[in-house]
Structure 1
Amino acid sequence: MDHGVVSPALKRAAGLAGAVLCVIAAALLLRRGFQLGDVLVERLTKISVPAFGAALVLYGIGAAALGFAWVLLARAAAASPVHARPLFVAHLRSQLAKYLPGNVFHFAYRHVAARREGLGHRALGGALAFESILLVAAAATLASGVAADPRLESVTPWLRWVVRAAPLVAIAVALAGAFAMRRFGSADARVSRTLSAFAMVFTIDVGFFLLAASALRLLCAQPDLLPFAAWCGWLALAWIAGYVTPGAPGGLGLREAVLVLGLGPVLGEAEALAIAFAYRLVTIGADALLAGIGFGLRDRAETSA
């Protein structure tokens, strides 16, 4: 997708650095968890099974909706009509691959599956690029409030400006992309249709983060201590940290660290750490369930063929 702009050595170095950062963050969180000991265990056991199950359902719905967003983008970039089902099934099946070292195998799996449906490399490169741009823009829109937190401001004073600029940059890129979509493979793509697809995908992305934040909030014993906007903001900022870090498998460690940083001062460190751990179990469980559904749908399709 980068057409040689970034050297393989630089990409490997960035991926290694991201993986090391994840390991360090995860190790520090685990160490703090052992230090908290029984207090952390008590907080974890206070999360009820119905609350955990509801969080699993909410996150699963949001993650499945991202599959429809991928179908919209792939169709917008395609030079000819493509079937939605194989693209959606491939998206479901790729969910667990994002936890593999390198954080690229879920992209690779969807790319290979879409190639079987006749999509060209350039079309897929365009679809993946706009998927990332719109996801980050949606997350940045929700994270704009908490990005100005004094604790973040003291470490990264530029963060709030980057977060606030992200949606504007995404709009500009989307407009340019709508006019340049022919270069990705769709010779007869209309600008209005492409922009409509982008708008629908952005809406789905925002919906995903709202559902994910709702799932996170369900895991808290006293969720009203924080306004819903704060839940959305810290969840979105944690997601961005894991997404943009090269080589971070599922943002493991990094997302939990950001959640503890944001939620800890209000909820308490033990409660925040328990919520972060439980939320990771929710995401892994939902992704595993979606992957299982994807394999089941694929097997059924192959059997009936």
Structure 2
Amino acid sequence: MKIDSIHNSDGGSPLDLDGSTSQLARRPRRRWITAALRWVIMLVVVFGVGRRIWLEKEKISFYGLDLAWGWLLVSAACYLAGLAACAVFWWLAMRDRGRGPGWSRTLASYYAGHLGKYVPGKMLAVVIRATMVGRSGVGIATGAITCVHEALLTMATGSLVAVASLLMVSIPHHKYWLLASAVLAAGFGLLALPPIVTRLGRLAVRPFPNAVVDDKHSCRWRTFGAGTAMITGGWLLMGLSLAAVMEAMHKLIGLISQWGFWKAYGLMTGLVALASVGGFVSLTPGGLGTREWILVETLGPVVGTGPSVVAVVLLRIVWIVAEVFASGLFWIIDRQWNQGKVHPS
């Protein structure tokens, strides 16, 4: 094609080659700015996570602990497996909208997003996840909307798990916690319905003219149902995570002998779900203070205030360390996988 036949998009004068050169010159600058922003986000997240671990450690420094450390590893494994169920729904929701990244990228993005919740501002987790999957060709709008959908469905199922647990066991202020769980389940359940999420997505991207939300590719009801079942299973695994922490403190056997296995397990699962949902609706980073307060208030009358405080803080530390480990592990796996595709042996 001849150069003089190239015209601007408005059909006017020939294309300004000097303008094109200046645009090419700006591209490296944009790359540097993008890289700098990524480093800033990473450093902020590292600071937030490190600060959170230090503060939690200080809370239990006065207690003499005789821990079975192996059970803390079991707790971390149960927690990560529970989160993986939520990540699967996120991947399915992105696939329904026309683009599903690889599993290693999905898991790396999902776990890394959890680290963003320890920084003030609830949206940093969404930014991290949408940006990371965006490198796999997923649109920023699609990544963000499906991320929010996963969070809403996770909170809805968590509230339902809390309701089911509180119908099975009785704790102090039982009616209050049951009513709060039911209200949260109804609210999050409504917002998590696929048509509502699609409408909210259109409203959210309206200020951004370049963002496109394709209504033809939204979350299917089949995916919604499968996600509800999988995430419910994830909450059951998170209940096992708390149970493993209690066993690490040598408190689980006494709790089971007092309540029976199923009631004790249902209690721990329901309280973890209730506290997590309560922390989500609070404005503090990572539900700081809110989640711990709910767990101490509900678990304290059962195992004692001192042991409940230790269990809650240990659970928080185990979960943070597990998130850091999983984020790094799947980031390395994803990096190696993509390098293998670019440079096949």
Q: TM-score range by the shorter chain?
A: 0.7 to 0.9
Query: 2:129–2:147: 8 Å Cα contact kept in structure 1?
Result: no
**CA distance in structure 1 between the partners assigned to 2:71 and 2:154 by the alignment:** 27
Alignment-mate amino acid for residue 169 of structure 1: L
**Are positions 1:63 and 2:83 aligned together?**
yes
**Are positions 1:238 and 2:269 aligned together?**
no
**Are positions 1:196 and 2:222 aligned together?**
yes
| Rg (Cα) greater in structure | 2
Alignment-mate amino acid for residue 221 of structure 2: L
Gapped runs of 5+ residues in structure 2? 1-47, 203-211
Instruction: Report SS of the residue matched to 1:185.
Output: coil
Query: 1:213–1:232: 8 Å Cα contact kept in structure 2?
Result: yes
**Are positions 1:92 and 2:111 aligned together?**
yes
Alignment-mate amino acid for residue 260 of structure 1: V
**CA distance in structure 2 between the partners assigned to 1:146 and 1:282 by the alignment:** 26
1:278 to partner: Cα distance: 1.1
User: Is the alpha carbon distance of 1:107 and 1:189 closer, same or farther for their aligned partners in structure 2, counting shifts above 3 Å?
Assistant: closer
Partner residue, 2:289: 253
Query: 1:140–1:166: 8 Å Cα contact kept in structure 2?
Result: no
Instruction: Report SS of the residue matched to 2:326.
Output: helix
Cα deviations by residue, 1:67-88 (Å, 9 ceiling, x for unpaired): 222211122233x565454333
Partner residue, 2:70: 50
Partner residue, 1:282: 318
User: Is the alpha carbon distance of 1:269 and 1:150 closer, same or farther for their aligned partners in structure 2, counting shifts above 3 Å?
Assistant: closer
User: Is the alpha carbon distance of 1:54 and 1:102 closer, same or farther for their aligned partners in structure 2, counting shifts above 3 Å?
Assistant: same
**Are positions 1:213 and 2:239 aligned together?**
yes
**Worse overlay, 277-286 or 94-103:** 94-103
1:105 to partner: Cα distance: 2.0
**Are positions 1:185 and 2:221 aligned together?**
no
Partner residue, 1:162: 183
Partner residue, 2:11: none
**CA distance in structure 2 between the partners assigned to 1:65 and 1:203 by the alignment:** 9
Instruction: Report SS of the residue matched to 1:118.
Output: coil
Cα deviations by residue, 1:190-245 (Å, 9 ceiling, x for unpaired): 8xx71111112222211111111111012221331442211111111100111122
**CA distance in structure 2 between the partners assigned to 1:241 and 1:86 by the alignment:** 29
**CA distance in structure 2 between the partners assigned to 1:175 and 1:97 by the alignment:** 25
User: Is the alpha carbon distance of 1:110 and 1:102 closer, same or farther for their aligned partners in structure 2, counting shifts above 3 Å?
Assistant: same
Partner residue, 2:96: 76
**CA distance in structure 2 between the partners assigned to 1:199 and 1:72 by the alignment:** 11
Alignment-mate amino acid for residue 264 of structure 1: G
**Are positions 1:265 and 2:301 aligned together?**
yes
**Worse overlay, 99-108 or 231-240:** 99-108
**Worse overlay, 173-182 or 130-139:** 173-182
1:127 to partner: Cα distance: 1.2
Alignment-mate amino acid for residue 333 of structure 2: L
Alignment of 1:130-149 (within 5 A): 130-144=149-163, 145-146=165-166
Gapped runs of 5+ residues in structure 1? 1-18
How high is the TM-score relative to the length of structure 1? 0.74
**CA distance in structure 2 between the partners assigned to 1:200 and 1:60 by the alignment:** 19
Instruction: Report SS of the residue matched to 2:137.
Output: coil
1:301 to partner: Cα distance: 3.3
User: Is the alpha carbon distance of 1:264 and 1:82 closer, same or farther for their aligned partners in structure 2, counting shifts above 3 Å?
Assistant: closer
Partner residue, 1:292: 328
**CA distance in structure 2 between the partners assigned to 1:188 and 1:105 by the alignment:** 28
Query: 2:239–2:272: 8 Å Cα contact kept in structure 1?
Result: yes
Query: 2:201–2:213: 8 Å Cα contact kept in structure 1?
Result: yes
Query: 2:172–2:301: 8 Å Cα contact kept in structure 1?
Result: no
1:121 to partner: Cα distance: 4.2
Higher relative contact order at CA 8 Å, sep ≥6: structure 1 or structure 2? 1
Partner residue, 1:8: none
**CA distance in structure 2 between the partners assigned to 1:266 and 1:109 by the alignment:** 38
1:130 to partner: Cα distance: 1.7
**CA distance in structure 2 between the partners assigned to 1:187 and 1:56 by the alignment:** 38
1:125 to partner: Cα distance: 4.0
User: Is the alpha carbon distance of 1:91 and 1:49 closer, same or farther for their aligned partners in structure 2, counting shifts above 3 Å?
Assistant: same
What is the number of residues matched between the two proteins?
265
Partner residue, 1:15: none
**Are positions 1:107 and 2:126 aligned together?**
yes
**CA distance in structure 2 between the partners assigned to 1:157 and 1:217 by the alignment:** 22
Give the counterpart of 1:151 among 146, 149, 173.
Answer: 173
